[in-house]
Amino acid sequence: MSKRDSQRQKVYDAEKAHSHFKTAVEAGPDGWRLPKALMFEDGTPIPDVKEMQDYVDKVTRSRWFKARWPRYAYSKGKMVMTYGGKFIKQPHGIVVLDGRRRRSAFGSSNGSIGMPRWSRFELLILHEIAHVVTGSSKRVRLHGRHYCSNFLALIRHELGAEAADEMKRLFKEKRVKYTRPKALKVRGK
């Protein structure tokens, strides 16, 4: 049985308070947050999966990304094994799916992210990339320290130091753990 994802809501609350989230969405009926426009921070629209795939490929092509997560780095013609045991050519390190019939975005350790239309902005794309590179197992919480550390690194690399510092401040404010746990001191007798 996997560990409880106790930080999930805290991470979501920190994201919603971040200026990159606030510029991408506005309050809708009953407190729901809806997209103002499907666009990147610079104002260019993200209308389709191909353009999101181009953005994800740009992130995964960088030397910075390849040094940290070579398994998910962009590699044209990379061979991957499907669930049926067949090998196919996967043209991207992380594949973007359109997220149809889904209420929430997802990132999977198999190297895919699904992005419903409401979620197609930079901060949430980075959120899902962080899920992919962090992976999941019985020992790794979906929104745990390791995930949050990767998410902060992606924000710093793609959105800049100011955006990362703001997220770090929000993590502290919301009591989100994002660093290695402190070593326990053993008292001698």
Output the six-digit token pair for 38: 């499907």
User: What pLDDT does residue 33 have?
Assistant: 46
pLDDT at position 37, please? Answer: 46
| The pLDDT of residue 52 | 86
SS3 177: coil
pLDDT of residue 166: 95
Chain centroid to CA 160 = 16
Which mean pLDDT values do the consecutive 10-residue runs of the chain (189 residues) have? Answer: 73 86 53 48 65 89 91 69 55 77 79 81 90 76 88 95 95 90 66
Taking a C-beta distance cutoff of 8 angstroms, is the pair 167, 18 a contact? yes
Exposure string for 71-106, b = 16+ CB within 10 A, e = fewer: ebbbbeebeeeeeeeeeeebebbbbbbebeeeeebb
pLDDT at 170: 95
Q: What pLDDT was estimated at residue 118?
A: 73
Contact 119, 105 (CB under 8 A): yes
pTM of the shown model: 0.76
Q: What integer pLDDT is reported at residue 154 of this predicted model?
A: 96
